[in-house]
Chain A
């Protein structure tokens, strides 16, 4: 679906923000977090059509929804994560649970079920994971057996156990992945079906406002018309088809929670006087705990927007892009939240300040919807193919484009980003020549380097654009300084870590040090501290102490 107009989108965001301000204060969140309690009433209220109708974002207008595009959903997910990642997960579970229908449902199924989800405000859960089938769904154990009457398949009996299902204990409707005779398939299971029962609510490290439970299916009879797509064996393809899109949502969670933690630290740092002045004036503080983190989050934002816009323009799949968006936003967000605790010192370590909870919550982004390690593999696999197919030109061509960007706008870090991409191309090529990808560690590490280098390219391109996205809260000078800081770091890490990676695995590194252009990468570091000073000043200006 294409995204909405910016005005409509921002009105919806304002309404959500106001609702949260009124109905979900931090004291309540803290209490629910402590009690490990899912705020069913709040979720139901947020779904009410006259209050927000939040779930309608996922439902096309023809079925009673508002047809949100990926960009719209990213913005709402980011805001939800700033409010509470547990509540965000509860909403996301409905989005995710609805996805198999959106992707694979027949017209009649969409007509019936999407309309019901929209009009009855159903909470939905997505039931894929099992004890032995997490990222690897091939080991799926839940079975769907034919129920035959008069020689015709009239339904299925579902038997098995699901694990760690968000909204598992509270949903009205479940999309369940089960192994039918024709292969893995999605089924629509209603809560009150006989033989279906949710298990106990898990006691989790974070996102404690979200309900997570296992599901037991004991010979649950499901009519044949509840087989999504009315064709067996399409389940894994349907699950795969939405990864680009669903991972953008989790990426938005990492972004929202990570930036929220940092913004709280930035406001705090202007009031906390130590050593004769506010912490916000001390480079030892800002350039370690704040600036590098915020810069990475803005890089993640640029990449999320780039992927969202491509999905909204009708491109399909984008699994590698979705993986890069989620991996970067989650890992950097997790680090940002950790540093935000450090930035608040003793206060940050107490539950009186939300950063402590954000840190516990955000860790889930590195785990659900594909662990960071699975994503490293996904990213590597996707781009390794491109590297081979293009005979090593993939990143070199991308770097050439960055050179053009740099020629038109030299202040956006595009030169450093191009250095990162060329270093990456050299590292990939050396890995190919020396067959180093036989080491799993090498492949995963390549996934990490690819994420940073590509994000640098996208961030610099966005920062060089004449017009910025509605989401950029800094002026041109500030955002470009951030893009430069990001690109320099990416260039340095790609060259040094890439070189170290090859040296660690190979007999000899040949002339890789020249190929990654260490000298140029080092020379590019000039001006880093001045840019970090500038970024720190802009952050202080934008997130003033309250």
Chain B
């Protein structure tokens, strides 16, 4: 079986700041990491590889430095890495990104299983994975917490409100993975990082995958982001101690004062 894992390099959101005046992200000095959901998807793929000896190929899209997440995946055990990197891709929205990724996957050839993180922590759209499945005309299962393969059956445990359901699919299929205790993301040893440099790694541009420019980048994207801004700070909450009755009386008093309720 051939597995493709979609990985994205994202700014470490715990370190991201927004310039309050311009509303722009301050990227200087903010470290980049593998999207945490993708890290789980990668781990799921590597465990399948360890069990069944499948081939794992990583596909990412981003600037040249996004090679980092691909190399990390190869250091952890993936067999091959592909980075879609081209100025033509810059500014692509989720539709346009899905289009480019789907083109790359077609070029790879026979792919049985695609794993992607449920969403990326920078945009939080959760659209790219499903978009790729749609572009490839492939079934998809989202919000998976566990994946297993039995012969030609892919068995996915999907998280739902209050529980889970187990779904089965015939390959090819795309799954999006959540972060779950079933997988523990690992980090590569120094030796493995060094060895990963010898694994096949390719940088593909738009022309390499046969993507048409009219569907790529800012111009080819149907959605446009007009502004990013931090949510307004909530005002400080007032805390009351004392009996329930006393507190309710005080809350009512404030609500009347502020005219939330009438006398």
Interface residues in chain A, defined as those with a beta carbon under 8 Å from any beta carbon in chain B: 4-5, 7-8, 10-12, 14-15, 18-19, 48-54, 56-57, 61, 66-67, 472-475, 478, 541-542, 544
Contacting pair B68 A11 (CB below 8 A): yes
Closest A residue to B19 by CB, please name it: A541
B84 within 8 A of A: no
- Taking the closest CB of chain B, its distance from the CB of A411, in whole angstroms, is 16
Check A14/B191 contact, CB under 8 A, given A7-B67, A475-B28, A541-B26.
no
- List residues of chain A with CB within 8 A of the CB of B193: 8, 11-12, 15, 66
Given contacts A5-B197, A66-B191, A475-B29, 17 further A-B contacts (CB under 8 A): A8-B71, A8-B193, A11-B71, A11-B188, A12-B190, A12-B193, A14-B72, A14-B187, A18-B187, A51-B189, A52-B189, A54-B190, A57-B190, A61-B194, A66-B190, A472-B29, A542-B29
Q: Is B250 in contact with chain A by the CB < 8 A criterion? A: no
Q: Decide: A49 near B194, CB < 8 A? Known: A8-B71, A11-B68, A475-B28.
A: no
**A49 CB to closest chain B CB, in angstroms?**
5
When chains A and B are docked, how far (Å) is the Cα of A14 from the Cα of B192? 13
Knowing A15-B188, A56-B191, the reply to whether A474 touches B28 (Cβ < 8 A) is yes
* Chain B interface residue count, Cβ-Cβ cutoff 8 angstroms: 21
Known: A7-B65, A10-B68, A11-B75. A473 touches B29 (CB 8 A): yes
By a beta-carbon cutoff of 8 Å, the part of chain B in contact with chain A is 15, 17, 26, 28-29, 33, 65, 67-68, 71-72, 75, 187-191, 193-194, 196-197
Cα of A12 to Cα of B194 in the assembled complex, Å: 9
A50 close to B68 (CB less than 8 A): no
Tell me if A8 and B194 are in contact (CB < 8 A). yes
Instruction: Name which residue of chain A comes closest to B190, CB basis.
Output: A53
CB-CB nearest in chain B for A471: B29
A145 to chain B, nearest CB (A): 41
Rank and list the top 5 A-B pairs by shortest CB-CB distance, nearest first. A473-B29, A15-B187, A475-B28, A66-B194, A53-B190
Chain A residue contacts of B191, Cβ below 8 A = 49, 53, 56, 66
Q: How far is the CA of A56 from the CA of B194 in the complex (A)?
A: 11
Can you list 11 A-B contacts with CB-CB less than 8 angstroms, sorted by A residue number?
A8-B193, A11-B68, A11-B193, A12-B190, A48-B189, A49-B189, A50-B189, A56-B190, A472-B29, A474-B29, A542-B28
User: Which residues of the partner chain B approach A53 to less than 8 Å between Cβ atoms?
Assistant: 189-191
> How many Å lie between the Cα of A57 and that of B75 in the bound state?
16
A428 → chain B, closest Cβ, in Å?
38
Question: A4 vs B190: C-alpha distance in the bound complex, in angstroms?
Answer: 12
CB < 8 Å: which of A7, A52, A544 contacts B190?
Answer: A52
Chain A nearest CB: distance from B192 CB in Å?
Answer: 8
The distance in angstroms between the C-alpha atoms of A67 and B68, with both chains bound, is 19
Using CB atoms, name the residue of chain A closest to B28: A475
Cα–Cα, bound, A56→B190 (Å): 8
Q: Complex: how many Å from CA A10 to CA B33?
A: 10
Could you say which residues of chain B place their CB within 8 Å of the CB of A48?
189
Q: Which residues of A contact B187 (CB under 8 A)?
A: 14-15, 18-19
Contacts of A66 in B (CB 8 A): 190-191, 193-194
Residues of A within 8 A of B189 (CB): 15, 48-53
B28 and A473 within 8 A (CB): yes
